[in-house]
Amino acid sequence: MATPVSTKAEESRVIVALDYAGAEPALAFVDKVNPEQCKLKIGLELFTSAGPTLVSRLIERGFDVFLDLKFHDIPNTVAKACAAAGRLGVWMLNVHTLGGPNMLRAARDAVDALARRPLLVGVTLLTSHTQQDIGAVGLHGDLPERVDALAALAHQAGLDGVVCSPLEAAGLRSRFGNGFVLVTPGIRLEKVKADDQARTMSPRQALAQGADFLVIGRPVTQAPDPHGVLHAINRQLHESVQ
């Protein structure tokens, strides 16, 4: 089993994707969990509707918040957005590696300058992408090779790690070592539909491949008993690292 990095014994490796339409349904979920059970991810939908106020409220409640806005713009704009996110007190934020080396370095410099530095990770290719999708946007070569090259860009620019599919985690772990944070969405519980995700794995398998943190959205948030599912995932993961 590949060795993951950076987690305290009591820390959950699960990041629940709060893909809700607004603060109210998101808080209805959060009200029933505590920061030892999961970290929380705020993405495009929830941030667009509920904004920095909700981010601050969740941080005040003691949660580690991953701001998943996948910044991808000119270096100056991305650097300023990263600084603004960092000042909110988020635990992790991300940029898109397709923004290129100058943009990645500008993002890294911006977080390095913060008093409280968040983890900065790069999105490689989306876990919904197939080989056909990447060909359609002009990326040639094998999908795993493209992911590897984009992860190398992130590594060279001094990012803390990448977001990747669990299918790529073992290769990236052996190439970039234990200090490189691997965050894997595309997690599906056994016997559950994949939705729009193309490259998926179960929580236990993803951990065994070397993932540090697992982003899990719909399998938890749309379950009839979201808290029961989260509890079961944590128990399984805990057992598998014993």
Residues of span 13-42 touching ligand C5P by CB under 6 A: 17, 19
CB 170, CB 180: distance < 8 Å: no
Q: Is 35 left (phi over 0), alpha (psi -120 to 50) or beta?
A: alpha
Count Cα neighbours of 58 within 13 Å in the Cβ-side half-sphere: 35
Binding window for ligand C5P (CB under 6 A); candidates: 28-36, 101-109, 119-127, 233-241: 119-127
Q: Is 197 in the site for ligand C5P (CB under 6 A)?
A: yes
Token pair belonging to 222: 């749309």
- The single residue among 27, 100, 195, 236 that binds ligand C5P, judged by CB under 6 A, is 195
CB of 220 to ligand C5P, least distance (A): 8
Helix then strand then coil, in percent of the chain rounded to 5, is 45, 15, 40
Binding window for ligand C5P (CB under 6 A); candidates: 20-28, 108-116, 204-212, 217-225: 217-225
Place of tokens 């056909």: 132
Q: Is 215 in the site for ligand C5P (CB under 6 A)?
A: yes
Q: Is 68 in the site for ligand C5P (CB under 6 A)?
A: yes
- The single residue among 30, 163, 201, 206 that binds ligand C5P, judged by CB under 6 A, is 163
CA nearest neighbour of 48 among 91, 19, 75, 73 = 19
- The single residue among 29, 40, 43, 69 that binds ligand C5P, judged by CB under 6 A, is 43
Tell me, yes or no, if 70 is annotated catalytic.
yes
Q: What CA–CA distance (Å, rounded) separates 145 from 135?
A: 13
- The single residue among 90, 123, 159, 208 that binds ligand C5P, judged by CB under 6 A, is 123
Q: Is 148 in the site for ligand C5P (CB under 6 A)?
A: no
Token pair belonging to 157: 């620019």
CB of 77 to ligand C5P, least distance (A): 20
* Residue 208: φ, ψ to 5°: -65, -25
Give the nearer residue to ligand C5P in terms of CB position, either 67 or 163: 163
Binding window for ligand C5P (CB under 6 A); candidates: 95-103, 114-122, 171-179, 213-221: 213-221
Q: Is 97 in the site for ligand C5P (CB under 6 A)?
A: no
Task: List Cβ neighbours of 15 (8 Å cut-off, separation of 6 or more).
Answer: 38, 39, 40, 41, 66, 183, 213, 214, 215, 216
CB atoms within 10 A of CB 134: 18
Catalytic, out of 39, 70, 191, 193? 70
Q: Is 153 in the site for ligand C5P (CB under 6 A)?
A: no
Binding site residues, ligand C5P, CB under 6 A: 17, 19, 43, 68, 123, 126-127, 163, 185-187, 195, 197, 215-219
- Report the catalytic residues: 70
